[in-house]
Chain A
Amino acid sequence: MSSWRRFFSSEAKRSELDEEIAAHLAMAEADNRAAGADAATAHHKATAEFGNAALVKDVTSSSWGWQRLESFAQDARYAIRQMRKGPGFACAVIGTLALGIGAATAMFTVVDRTMLRPLPYKHPSRLVTISPAGKDQRLGFQTSFPDIQAWREQAKSFEGFAFYRQVSGRSFLNVDGTATQVALTQVSGNLFGLLGVTPQFGSGLRARPDTLAVAGDDHTVVINDLAWREIFHSDRGIVGRTVQINDEPYRILGVMPKGFYFPYNSITPQLWSPIQLGADDAKRSYASQYQVMGRVKAGITIAQANAEMQQIQMRIQKSIAQPDWAKDIDHIKMDPFASIGADKSTNHALLALLGASGLLWLIACLNATNLLLVKASVRAREIAMRGALGASRWRLTQQLVIEGLLLSMSAALLGIALALSAITLFNHLLSHLPTAGLAPFAGIVAGLSPRVLLLLIALTVISAILSSAWPAWMAARSPIEAALRQGGAQSGTAKGQNRLRGGLVIAEIAMSLALLACCGLLLRTIYALRHTPLGFRTDHILVANMEIPTYRFAKINAAQEIYMPLLERAQHLPGVQSAGLVTEVPLGNTFNVMMYLEGDKAKGLGTTSSMFKAATPDLQKVFGFSILKGRYFNEHDTPSSEPVAVVNQAFAKAFAPHEQDLNKVIGLKLMSISNKPGEKNENTKTTIIGILDDMHQWKIGVQASPEIQVLPDQVKPGSSFYAILEGVAMDLAVRTQRPPSEMIPQLRAILKQASPELADAKFSTMDQIVEDSFGSQQLAAKLLEVFAGSALLLCVAGLYGLLAYVVSQRTREMGVRFALGAQKEDVVWLVMRQAGVLVIAGIVIGMGLAYGAGRLVQSFLFGISAHDGWTLAAVAILLMICGGVAAWLPARRAAGVNPVEALRAE
């Protein structure tokens, strides 16, 4: 039976009992009258004989065994009545708790999404990535096929190895004339088996068991659930159908289950096709390399497997033909598969923020405790009365705890709403997280995973217990007689309780100080980041990040046929001052090419790994960066003129380490950008013509890397650099006279005209790109602003509440003081002094907390120390001012006490 029906039937049974007893009385009365009594006497006698009817009913109904349940229902009803009687108080408690629960739930939802989602594979903890590495095992390289085969033969600790490589450039799937960008990964035939995942329908990939690869003409593909739903509209008939990927026909074999991804989680549809071995795979070479993963056998630890692999790799070194870079790959770097794609600094930021939200929740609970303690002392008489009427201590506690539970459940509901709106509000910042921003956050149900719901329930219950059980127990325990005897409103609570409440306020202030200090440090960090000279202008620049159809651009001279005409048209748009193309704008963090350049040691040249970009001459006009020496590209650099390059200062220092005079770096020769792979033509080498001042490329706060820039139209199609410099990414940067956003439609039209795929380009302003590069710091600062602000508000409210209560309790005492000649200032001072003690104690303890918290946020700070004295001092002063304001109102009230009235009330 549901509890509601039980409750209902108990009501019915109660009225039946009433009737039964009424019948008893009626029959007794009738008998009395039959014995000769008059009506009044008969009634009186019957009632007297029966005894206390209410008590009989109560004792009888208690034999039904539903008392507990009914008492809960009764308590809940009573609690609702209490809430209605004092809506202000209820709102204060619910609002306070909702703030805490909402903040903690929102943060946990984000952490849950980014860090706690298990990988969608079987026993993911036994999956590892394996890569050859140097002795320090810092950087792992990709693996060439002979090594993989050797590992497969020799390793005993693994159930198997699988390998994969991402197809370079962007891939497009063409269905019925519509091209969609997809992530195509070539995988070994055993990959899905190793992950322990089978397609939801259709078959998996097939491959030869010896090589795990397929022959060159075998074009098959398995697609993910997203691709199936969005591109093929959930059509089950697609298995066996042939589609065009990058202009080549592929036969669809199957569809992987929903939620499956490999190797990363992304919103791009994912496709997997089997690896085809090439001529390069016969020997250890740079040209054809793979990422390798293995599944460690059950019962074998990762450390054991690692030890075995180190030995095998050493052996391979001795037995297989040695390339000259062999020393870089004679060890093994092994990591849990779960760690790839995980961004340590973001995870760290999220955990720190989760801690901060937990602190806010704790502050909220303490504040609610304080409020309920006041309520309990105001209700002391009522509770004592109920005790006197026979309610047991447990029964009283139960009632108060149910009140608390009702309050915190309302708070939890409000908290969910707060959490969801907070997540929506911060969605832009969250979208920079590795996986959190991907799935639609708008989906409320999706946002609340079972883990989040569990946490919510735990928070609700613990909030109720923390905030109400204690006051309840104190109230129920206090002696009845004293409370009843003392009568008046000014009964004066025990000194111990005030001290306890003072302690709570001190704790609130201390924790708020820690939050405020962290917030202050992050704000100073953001300030420092914003005021770091970038070396280029960011205003009025619109950037279009283009999605290049690699397969089409690889077959043409993209610079001649697409980029230059496109740039020409953009430059002549009204409202455009200048326009330039560059592989990636500074701080864009969308795409980069690193190249390893070995200088001639005999000439005293160094070896550097540097960023490699293609850029057009007008880029300097767009960004306004400065040239230290020499010149930037200009209109005289044409496809047919001498190939030239511009480098930055960091490159000059790394490439010519012994050269003091930068002028001498100009004229040095770099690599060739027109040679075909394998071709050696010394005459086509590029010449350095200018040296740029260093600019931040990745992130402000990270030193500039060496950088080489070349002209896109000097890179010849077919050369080794062509595909990566022009076939993957290209940003169009435009300096506008009008607000940049107004130019988007016209620019999009030009892009579409150049090539239909480019119409999907993502537009952003350079200002926004710089803001976005603050990433986790920005997220942390924004959230801490909210958390610390709320904490400050709560502790001010807590302090005010305590002092206001104390003053209201002490009006009589104030009256006496005035009567004895105290001045208003003395009384104000009395209250302010009490506030001062609390605030100072809170600040002193808070300093200790802030010191610890500073260490936690240290890794996000830029341009400021974690224990910055000024920040701490500013925060302490802010708290003192707020404390002063909170104390001032009660102090004024105390000073305004009329001694005559206060004493007359006696």
Chain B
Amino acid sequence: MARQQYRNRIEILQGTLDLLVLETLRWGAQHGYGISQVIRARSGEVFQVETGSLYPALHRMEKQGWIESEWGQTEQNQRAKFYQLTAEGRKQLVRDRSKWETLVAAMAGVMSPETGA
């Protein structure tokens, strides 16, 4: 069923998506559309952030207290909901980042023997 598939993907992406969103917000408040554009641009168009994952993640992180939201105006005079990091969110970003670095290093360690014997 369709809904079930969405849910699965959210779960798979959850760790990384959170990290990506938090990292994006480190540079300042941003609305949902902006976040998805930034991630897309900075990943070299590799990451297509599904709105079906992004919005639930934003609302969940807001409930967890990592980010907070406020309605504001964009440069094009569009009313939009802006998210920004909280103190708790910054701590979470540090934790997630170090977890991620450990993961990358570990993966690299495991993966490197490709050229060896």
Contact = CB atoms under 8 A, between A and B. Distances in A.
Interface of A: 16-17, 19-21, 23-24, 26-28, 30-31, 50-52, 55-56, 58-60, 62-65, 390
B26 to A, nearest CB: 21
Contacts of B63: 63-65
Contacts of B6: 55, 59
22 contacts: A16-B81, A17-B59, A19-B81, A23-B79, A24-B33, A27-B76, A27-B80, A30-B78, A52-B2, A55-B3, A55-B6, A55-B52, A56-B51, A56-B52, A56-B55, A56-B56, A58-B3, A60-B56, A60-B59, A62-B56, A63-B56, A390-B1
Nearest to A13: B59
B91 interface: no
Nearest to A59: B56
Contacts of A31: 37
B50 interface: yes
Given A23-B79, A23-B81, A51 B51 contact: yes
A390 B80 contact: no
Interface string B1-26: 11100110010000000000000000
B60 A20 contact: no
A142 to B, nearest CB: 77
A99 B60 CA distance: 50
A50 B59 contact: no
Contacts of B33: 23-24, 27-28
A20 B81 contact: yes
A27 B60 CA distance: 23
B76 to A, nearest CB: 6
A23 B32 CA distance: 9
Contacts of B50: 51
Contacts, number: 70
Contacts of A50: 51
B74 interface: yes
A23 B1 CA distance: 29
Contacts of A26: 78
B1 to A, nearest CB: 6
Contacts of A59: 3, 6-7, 10, 52, 55-56
Q: Which of B6, B56, B79 has the most CB of A within 10 A?
A: B56
Contacts of B74: 27
Interface string B54-91: 01100110010000000000101011110000000000
Nearest to B62: A63
A60 B55 contact: yes
Nearest to B6: A59
Q: Is the interface of B mostly helix, strand, loop or mixed?
A: helix
Nearest to B7: A59
A30 B75 CA distance: 12
Contacts of A30: 76, 78
B2 A55 contact: yes
A20 B31 CA distance: 9
Nearest to B79: A23
B4 to A, nearest CB: 9
Contact of B31 (A16, A27, A64): A27
Contacts of B51: 21, 24, 50-51, 56
Contacts of B55: 17, 20-21, 56, 59-60
Contact of A390 (B3, B7, B76): B3
Nearest to A30: B76
B101 to A, nearest CB: 28
Given A28-B33, A59-B3, A59-B7, A23 B78 contact: yes
Contacts of A20: 32, 55, 80-81
7 nearest A-B pairs in the assembled complex, by CB-CB distance: A23-B80, A27-B33, A24-B33, A60-B55, A63-B60, A20-B81, A60-B56
Given A27-B31, A30-B76, 12 more contacts: A20-B80, A23-B79, A24-B33, A27-B34, A27-B78, A59-B52, A59-B55, A60-B55, A63-B59, A63-B63, A64-B63, A65-B63
Nearest to A65: B63
A58 B10 CA distance: 14
B59 to A, nearest CB: 5
A247 to B, nearest CB: 82
A24 B78 CA distance: 10
A21 B6 CA distance: 18
A261 to B, nearest CB: 60
Q: Which of A28, A56, A65 has the most CB of B within 10 A?
A: A56
A23 B31 contact: yes
Given A24-B33, A55-B3, A64 B59 contact: yes
A769 B67 CA distance: 84
Contacts of B34: 27
Contact of B32 (A16, A24, A55, A65): A24
A58 B52 CA distance: 9
Contacts of B2: 52, 55
A439 B68 CA distance: 63
Contacts of A56: 51-52, 55-56
Contacts of A23: 31-33, 78-81
A51 B50 CA distance: 8
Contacts of A62: 56
Nearest to A58: B3
B53 to A, nearest CB: 9
Nearest to A25: B33
Nearest to A50: B51
A481 to B, nearest CB: 16
Contacts of A390: 1, 3
A52 B76 CA distance: 26
Contact of A51 (B52, B76, B80): B52
Interface string B81-117: 1000000000000000000000000000000000000
A885 B17 CA distance: 71
A861 B116 CA distance: 104
A110 B7 CA distance: 57
Contacts of B80: 20, 23-24, 27
A56 B2 CA distance: 12
Q: Which of B1, B2, B52, B60 has the most CB of A within 10 A?
A: B52
A357 B7 CA distance: 53
Interface string B26-52: 000001111001000000000000111
Nearest to B31: A23
A62 B78 CA distance: 27
Nearest to A27: B33
A59 to B, nearest CB: 5
A450 B6 CA distance: 50
Nearest to A61: B59
A31 B10 CA distance: 26
Nearest to B10: A59
Nearest to A390: B1
A574 to B, nearest CB: 92
Nearest to B2: A55
B18 to A, nearest CB: 13
A390 B59 CA distance: 24
Q: Which of A50, A52, A59, A64 has the most CB of B within 10 A?
A: A59
Contacts of A51: 50-52
A16 B50 CA distance: 20
A396 to B, nearest CB: 15
A23 B59 CA distance: 16
Contacts of A60: 55-56, 59
B29 to A, nearest CB: 14
Contacts of B3: 55, 58-59, 390
Contacts of A19: 79, 81
Q: Which of B2, B3, B55, B74 has the most CB of A within 10 A?
A: B55
A64 B32 CA distance: 18
B48 to A, nearest CB: 9
A21 B54 CA distance: 11
A24 B3 CA distance: 21
Contacts of B59: 17, 60, 63-64
Nearest to A20: B81
Contacts of A27: 31, 33-34, 74, 76, 78, 80
